[in-house]
Amino acid sequence: MSETKFTPGPWRATYDSQLQALIEIYNTEDRVMVAVLPDRGTVEAMPEIEANASLIADAWQLPDLRRENTELKAINKEMYEALEEVWHILDATMPLSRDNGADRIKKLLRKARGEAE
């Protein structure tokens, strides 16, 4: 599957003061229109409409964030495995005490596993 093409960012959301009925989302560099949201809400709904427009305006960052998230998960897995190895070495070779960092390692491993403290 080929990589999805999209308008490069950054994007910006602005309220169209002339039409007073639209929120426009566009690329800030060359003003390529990305989306137009009709403002069909009430005054009470406007904060939610603006929040949704802000979310859409930030969407250009998603491909990089997804890639970074995948890389960080892989790094975290490696770090967890290394920490677990260190824990087993410490557990086998030294008396467990606060001085050698074993308690901290135990806490970090429990946290990484999602266990309660």
Structural domain that includes position 69 = 64-113
Q: Is the pLDDT of residue 116 over 60?
A: yes
pTM for this model (two decimals): 0.59
57 with 75, same domain? no
Number of domains in the chain: 2
Output b/e per residue, 13-46; b: 16+ Cβ within 10 A. bebeeeeeeebbbbbeeeeeebeebebeeeeeee
What would the pLDDT profile of 5-52 be if each residue is shown by its tens digit? Answer: 888 899 999 876 666 667 889 999 998 999 888 766 667 777 888 888
33 with 71, same domain? no
